[in-house]
Copies of this chain bind each other. A is one copy, B any other.
Amino acid sequence: MAVSSFPCIQPVRVPFKACSLFPAGVCGGFNKKKKINAIVFSSLRKFEKDVNFQSKVDTLLNSIKWDDKGLAVAIAQNVDTGAILMQGFVNRDALATTISSRKATFFSRSRATLWTKGETSNNFINIHDIFVDCDRDSIIYLGKPDGPTCHTGSETCYFTSISDLLKGQEVEETNLALTTLYSLESTISKRELELAGQHGKPSWTKRLLSNENLLCSKIREEADELCRTLEEKEDSSRTASEMADVLYHAMVLLRRKDVTIENVLDVLRRRFSRSGIEEKQSRVSTESQV
């Protein structure tokens, strides 16, 4: 699976040694006064053996189109759910630090210092990969957050919907910028709360939530119908529709078991992105898993 990763996967906490990976000056802005969880890779020696690594990082940093203040935009995104967690700015040092520490690090424009998300809250964003855009002036930190990212305690910083504001509705921190799957998940959770509080209108979701036999028979039925679109060579639009049914009904079951889609994606990522060696050790046949 193409959840790519930097060379030398396993991080070990060692203070400030990360800077040794970069030429003098690259990590100069790192805030040494704070107890920052600086990280180096366990296979640092392997890294150091790559005499080209520092020059590769330098070349990369030189290729970024820094603005007139030496900054580029950095967007932190949850590797599993795709949720945009926060957005900040990076300078050369911040990006270099993120590459070495694998913890999302930014440049604070107001305080004019580097800061690693989580350095005070411990809610780090653990980097899986970093992407730059076609113009080389915008960066995605694709990572897994240790906890809520927003200083308000919200999962992400984006909980204010403009359409809600224009409709005059109050801002709720549970109303995150949710994409389709998570929006449906949120609706199912609301139906469960309504069911518990015996309010709200009747709905199919509530019937499923309160009838285990109905729910399981629907999941088996929808899975069967999905298969039949292949077996009976039905139109692809039927396949999309039946898969939507499978997903929806299975998500109601997940809610019953207090499991989130993010939990499921976490399992999928760990299962399919593990390193070749780990995968080999766990293999029972000569086939690779995916």
A287 at the interface (CB under 8 A from B): yes
A79 at the interface (CB under 8 A from B): yes
CB pair A227–B219 under 8 Å, yes or no, is yes
Residue from B73, B136, B184 in contact with A268 in the complex, judged by beta carbons closer than 8 Å:
B184
A193 at the interface (CB under 8 A from B): no
A82 at the interface (CB under 8 A from B): yes
Question: Chain A interface residue count: which class?
Answer: 35 or more
Contact with B along A245-275 (1 / 0, CB 8 A): 0111010011011110001111111011100
In the complex, 8 of the A-B residue pairs with CB atoms within 8 angstroms, ordered by the A residue number, are: A2-B175, A99-B162, A99-B166, A129-B177, A134-B159, A180-B268, A183-B273, A239-B253
Which residues of B sit under 8 angstroms from A158, Cβ to Cβ? 131-133, 138, 140
Which residues of B sit under 8 angstroms from A34, Cβ to Cβ? none
Which residues of B sit under 8 angstroms from A204, Cβ to Cβ? 287-290
- Comparing A10-18, A25-33, A111-119, A148-156, the segment that makes contact with chain B is A148-156
CB pair B188–A77 under 8 Å, yes or no, is no
CB pair A247–B268 under 8 Å, yes or no, is yes
Contact with B along A171-211 (1 / 0, CB 8 A): 00001111111011011100100000000011111010000
